[in-house]
Amino acid sequence: MEFRHEWKHEISPGDLPALRSRLRAMTRPDAHGENGVYYIRSLYFDTPEDRALREKIDGVNRREKFRLRRYGGGDLIRLEKKSKYGGLCAKEQVPVTEEEVRALLAGDTDWMRSSGRDLVWELYQKMTAQRLRPKVIVEYTREAYVYAPGNVRVTLDAGIRTGLGGTDFLDPDCVTVPASDAVVLEVKWDAFLPDCIRAAVQLEGRRTAAFSKYAVCRRYG
């Protein structure tokens, strides 16, 4: 598992035109979606005691979250584990099928023991030992840019919505409601952040700050 650096800024919709102009002048749109824009839906897991939520709110230095994620409403679904250590982050992921997700949501976890995928096995163990369970749907639109030096990825996430108490991740018509009007700017890179990108993402009056789409969506339950 390789850790990367991560910055997060909460910005306003009014910041977007200038930021887009700078990024488009020096980066290229991510290959996913249309001109780097695509839709994301995630289903996050947590314990009955809300361990993942509490660790985020309390600023625990080392923490992790499990989620199912679908990009662009397509067929590809991934099980992901996001790990944080200080200002560093890492993501592990494996594909899962709709049939496997349906079984999991129905409470059938037997398939996880023989899946042959380490991350699925780890989630199974934590569902057994820590009682991790699907908790909330989080969805939003992502605009992504990449820059090869430093392996930089800049994303702009907007239109954050929550599924309230619903966890029917596969239902395209499941009810979601707006959770925040914030736009979240995220910058990730490997060993170094090029000065041109550092300058491009600087916005007057904006500072790096903790922002969790999961925590925002959990305000509703």
Domain containing 108 equals 4-220
Span of 29-38, 187-196, 208-217 with lowest mean pLDDT: 208-217
pLDDT at 207 (0 to 100):
63
As given in the structure block, the two tokens for residue 184 are: 């979240």
Domain count, the chain: 1
As given in the structure block, the two tokens for residue 113 are: 């023991």
4 burial class (0-12, 13-18, 19+ CB within 10 angstroms)?
middle
Integer-rounded Cα Rg, in Å, for the chain is: 18
Indicate which CATH number applies to the domain containing 145: 3.20.100.30
49 burial class (0-12, 13-18, 19+ CB within 10 angstroms)?
exposed
Is residue 22 classed as helix, strand or coil in its secondary structure?
helix
Work out the pLDDT band at 67, boundaries 50, 70, 90. very high
pLDDT at 48 (0 to 100):
96
pLDDT at 221 (0 to 100):
67
Give bridge partners of residue 93 from the DSSP assignment.
80
How do residues 72-94 score in pLDDT, each as one tens digit?
877 899 999 999 998 899 999 99
Contacts of residue 175, Cβ cutoff 8 Å, sequence gap at least 6: 163, 164, 166
